[in-house]
Amino acid sequence: METPGLKSNVTMDEITALAKRRGFIFQSSEIYGGIGGFYDYGPLGAILKRNVKDAWWRENVELRDDVVGFDSSIIMHPLTWKASGHIDQFHDQMIDCKVCKHRFRSDHLKDATQCPDCGSKNSFTEPRNFNLMLKTFVGPMEDTASEAYLRPETAQGIFVNFKNVFQSARKKPPFGIAQIGKSFRNEITPGNFTYRLREFEQAELEYFVPDDGKDMDAFREWVDRRKKWYSDYGVKSDRLRFYELTQAERPHYAKAGIDVEYLFPWGWGELESIAHRGTYDLDAHMELSKKDLRFFDEASKTHYTPLLIESSAGMDRTTLTMLIDAFEREISVDPNGKQTERIVLRFHPKIAPVQVAVFSLARNKPELVERARAIESGLRPSYRTQYDEGNIGQLYRRQDEIGTPICLTVDYETLDDRAVTVRERDTMRQERIEIDRLDTYLRDRLRG
């Protein structure tokens, strides 16, 4: 759905090209022609994604005393997926065009009578149900009894361990369990770069609350916290919306649901879902496993099943959002009237893959190179740094394109005044800063 007047300032082709050129994201197994729905993170992308995950973990686990971290296995007992409903309900309707042989999700088609790719009329096969879970075999036999699934969401690992975690952590609701991990969905139509993948990472927070009438307050508090998180990391507020699902759009057991959506170049797309899931998940596992997962409240000496507020964010989608949201194109005209374009990624300093680039003005002057390398290695324990040398205009251009907030240049003057030229990405301001004052200067700007 388009929003009048509001458009993304970049195309997916530009993002894909930049991501490859600068080493953020590559197509998986590209030398063999690639494989649909799988991508690899290059040197800068791996750091960017890790920073996004760390920022989520820091805010939702480390800075809270009511949430603990968790890490469950990708392959779980197959009954897990029976209880969760994934075996019976995790289906998409698949439809093929008999002329061009392209495959679509029937609910994604605007016109069910015409193929959007080749334009053929009434060329579709009957819709077929297709389970989205990826299957594998556990053990040496490839038979039905050895069948297992790669998890399609990380949440179920938390639910089946609910009692283990609560008892070992000695906490009582309200209390949350958080995990970041890989999930797999055999999507019929992966696409839009890393938006819809077959292998992706989720950051899920399952927050359990007592049924004391304050559950909707807890739901709204999590929505506000997540809003703040996106804003703290610089995601533009006019490109983010919190869409409240109607009762008809929510699963029957959910009391409330919000989809966090971002305005991608092709329109609004879901980044995260926040849902009030009641006791649905724990009830389902209790029923199938016949194990009592209820919480025992010492004060009232009663057992009860807590209600669940879930926040589930895709880390690949969030990383892609950070890339798109940071993208800016600036046209400048030099004194001779020549137009130049500068692409800048304005990452928040906390997630920028490189925070400080240190340059030597000349590559063939050992005294400059040594000084610049020494400054860079001195800063490395405290900041994400990179050393480079050569043509200063090209060096700035490269760092702008990867979103580095601060560049330092060691030049001939440095040898006399023990200062470097510091250039800020956002203001383009340049100033001389003494080497001894660098750490204070950088701390102010980068650690926030």
**Residues near ligand GAP (CB under 6 A):** 153, 155, 185, 187, 196-197, 200, 202, 204, 270-273, 312-314, 316-317
CB of 105 to ligand GAP, least distance (A): 12
The residue count of the chain comes to: 448
Closest CA to 184 of 200, 196, 203: 200
**Among residues 202 and 305, whose Cβ is nearest to ligand GAP?**
202
CA 52 to chain centre: 6
CB-side exposure of 290: number of CA atoms within 13 Å?
Answer: 0
Closest CA to 196 of 38, 90, 327: 38
CB of 35 to ligand GAP, least distance (A): 14
**Among residues 223 and 408, whose Cβ is nearest to ligand GAP?**
223
**Among residues 155 and 284, whose Cβ is nearest to ligand GAP?**
155
Give the helix/strand (H/E) hosting 177. strand 175-184
Locate the DSSP E strands across 334-418: 339-345, 356-360, 385-389, 406-410
Give the phi and the psi of residue 101 in degrees, each rounded to 5: 70, 10
The amino acid sitting at 388 is: D
**Among residues 185 and 371, whose Cβ is nearest to ligand GAP?**
185
d(CA 151, CA 81): 8
**Among residues 272 and 376, whose Cβ is nearest to ligand GAP?**
272
**Contact at 8 Å (CB) between 304 and 295?**
yes
**What tokens appear for 393 in the block?**
């205009």
The amino acid sitting at 258 is: I
Locate the DSSP E strands across 294-338: 295-297, 302-304, 307-314, 327-333
d(CA 147, CA 184): 16
**Among residues 123 and 192, whose Cβ is nearest to ligand GAP?**
192
**Among residues 153 and 215, whose Cβ is nearest to ligand GAP?**
153
CB of 9 to ligand GAP, least distance (A): 22
CA 417 to chain centre: 44
Nearest residue to ligand GAP, scored by beta-carbon proximity: 314
Exposure string (b/e) for 247-263, b if CB count within 10 Å is 16 or more? Answer: eeebeeebebbbbbbbb
N-terminal to C-terminal alpha carbon distance within the chain: 36
**Among residues 247 and 394, whose Cβ is nearest to ligand GAP?**
247
CB of 318 to ligand GAP, least distance (A): 7
CB of 259 to ligand GAP, least distance (A): 7
**What tokens appear for 269 in the block?**
């797309």
**Among residues 312 and 399, whose Cβ is nearest to ligand GAP?**
312
